Structure 1
Amino acid sequence: MPVTLEDKLVVAISSRALFNLEEENKVFEAGDNEGYMKLQLDRIDVPAAPGIAYSLIRKLLRFNDDGVQRVEVVILSRNDPVSGMRIFRSSAAADIKLQRGVFTQGRPPFGYLRPLRAHLFLSVNAQDVREALNAGFPAARVLVESVKASDAWPNEVRIAFDGDAVLFSDEAERVYQKEGLDAFQAHELSKADLPLPEGPFKPLLSALHRLQLAGNAKMRIRTALVTARSAPAHERAIRTLMKWNIRVDEAMFLGGLPKGEFLREFEPDFFFDDQTGHVDAASRHVPAGHVSSGISNES
């Protein structure tokens, strides 16, 4: 029977999103590819320190602990194959069970998301993330300056999502930016019974929902919608999730309040937002990623 990833949650992640390779990356960014490769080879037996998405990946893979492979994590990296050896050794040292990796030696790797059928791509490279989103894959640029995830919830994968342009389309956000708050509220109230179109991260939310239903007695998923929406515009968001037959565990309708302190209380392993201001502020409290989709990211 052929090997397939069809029935698994598939996360593709770059080396720098999983591990802290910022010192080594300075050599790479300076254009010294040979020096970078040598540095990685010299450090092949030195496990790299955890990166910003480390907690998220480690916890997701714990859904496999009972022997059923529900989650597959694949390294998808601009690193060279030689440097890739250190990534696999660092993963083994951290007891992160990785089997697969694609190393493109400086070339854009996002094209391999299609044969992987990835539900999420995490990378530090903004262009790769943008191309992945354009190709229809949930993707986010990991902010390496983010604080690390809390270790307070070892048996829960905790993920927070913005709404418009992330879980939902940016239809309503376009009204807000072009016509203002009153027009936005009126627009959403008049369409409260009409589900919002899907946003780029709806496939990931659906995959997480399926993973939760598949079950693992020792692990669970807790999700939160963290949005600047307020009443009465909250209703359309809730009804959209109901139409999708997906529940989030927490919903925060903040009416424009800063999200950072609320996220600090939720303590997610990762937070996704389309607006750089929100992501930058959130990164001071939690691991955060920028989703470069929607009107806020149009040049």
Structure 2
Amino acid sequence: MPISFENLLPRSPGQPASALLGETIRRRVKDENAAFTLSDFVWDSAPCDSWNASCHVLNFALTPRPQPSWISFGGPQRYALGPLMFVPQGIETRSYLARGRQRSLTCLLSAEVIERLLGRSPHWDNSDLEHALNLRNPAIEQMLWRIARELERPGFASAALLEALGNALAIELIRIFRLEQRLTPKRRTGGLAPWRMRRIRARAQADEPAPDLGELSAICGISVRHLTRAFKAETGQTLANYVEQVVMDRARVKLAETCEPIAEIAVRLGFASSASFCSAYRRHTGERPSDLRKARRVTD
């Protein structure tokens, strides 16, 4: 199905999609598989609307989102929007956007490009959707900043570059949510209750030193032995490996998005020294923390 901007947002009869949200389009480019829009929004009132996108939607806030802003998936549960959100094609949503201003980059990816790369239709469960509303992925964020700069100042072979970046975004999303599906498979006998899984994720992703097994067992109200066995039954991986994975994801975000010294990042993540952090990071990612910093400087 061709990319359609008009099917993306709700609107009154006869009203352009951009008019309802006070959108000023700075530049818009599209091809068969992807479309990119760089926009400024001004919300004089707080719109609250239901919508169902005909394609996959990535929205990246280039300036802070007005708060509070939230989205729901047809139920009473509301989720806060992070700087980078992803809403899969065909998912019914209801959103509330606080009054204010925002510049954002919206990327639409056709359902066909994801299915073609993945080899099947993707399945999204509630855990995937909750995670998607506040993606923390340095690779995707770097690509989106690159797209925004290209839209502002197009250079040689701009269309070819944007097409390549659109395909790269689709591949990176597939990688992310294959991983998430491994973390949240169908419930197995002996697994963890959803509320315990949510507590584990929230604590592991908090901007604090990484939790140990004793702390996680305390917030779940069960013994360490019970917790580790149940987590393995629920997810197929050990709890220690999961925590390390989340810590390394947080490390990549800090290295990519901040100028904090590596030693300070190590302390924030709970490492005894920068040397132990660098060793763990290299073991997990195959590169040194300084390599990501150098790559960011080259990209910028």
TM-score by length of 2: 0.27
Structure possessing the higher relative contact order (Cα contacts under 8 Å, 6 or more residues apart): 1
TM-score by length of 1: 0.27
Structure of larger gyration radius = 2
